[in-house]
Amino acid sequence: MSQQELTNLDCRGQRCPLPVIALARRLPELPVGAVLRVLADDPAAAADIPAWCRMRGQEYLGAQPSTTEPGVSVYRIRRTS
């Protein structure tokens, strides 16, 4: 697959279930194969984003702590369908 353009979704400051709702709205707007980066500081997102990906059959690529902002994680999700 060619290099994908990354789209960011800023969910900083949002509490559950808002980041997952935002993710569910945004991902279908991207082309299949595209990767969405979700920025979130809600600790529940660590459990809920991978769980949502499993329920919706989307590919969860993992999470990394933000290098610039403590407490914020960057979750990457690839739209597969």
Partner 1 sequence: MAFFDAAAGAPLHPVAAQALRAAQQDGWADPARLYAQARRARQLLDAARESVAESLSVAASQPVRADQVRFLPSGTAAAHAAVAGARLAQERTGASVVHSAIEHSAVLYAAATGPTVPVGVDRLGRLDEEAFAAAVRAPGVALAALISASHEVGTAQPVAEAAQAAASAGVPLYVDAAASLGHRTVPGGWSLLSGSARKWGGPAGVGLLVVGRGAPREDSRSQERTPWLPPWPGAEPGLLDPPGGLNLPAVVAAAAALRAVLAERETTAARLATLTERIRAGVAAGVPDVQVLGDPVRRLPHLVAFSCLYVDGEALQHELDRAGFAVSSGSSCTASTLRPSHVLEAMGVLSHGNVRVSLPRDTTDAEVDEFLALLPGIVAGLRAQAGAVGL
User: Which tokens hold the place of 58?
Assistant: 């989307």
Catalytic residue list contains 16: yes
Question: Rounded to the nearest whole angstrom, what is the least distance from the CB of residue 18 to partner 1 in the complex?
Answer: 8
Q: Do residues 6 and 37 make contact, with C-beta atoms less than 8 angstroms apart?
A: yes
Question: Rounded to the nearest whole angstrom, what is the least distance from the CB of residue 49 to partner 1 in the complex?
Answer: 10
Query: Which residues from 12-51 bind partner 1, rule CB under 8 A?
Result: 15-18, 20-21, 24-25, 43-44, 46-48, 50-51
Catalytically active residues are 16
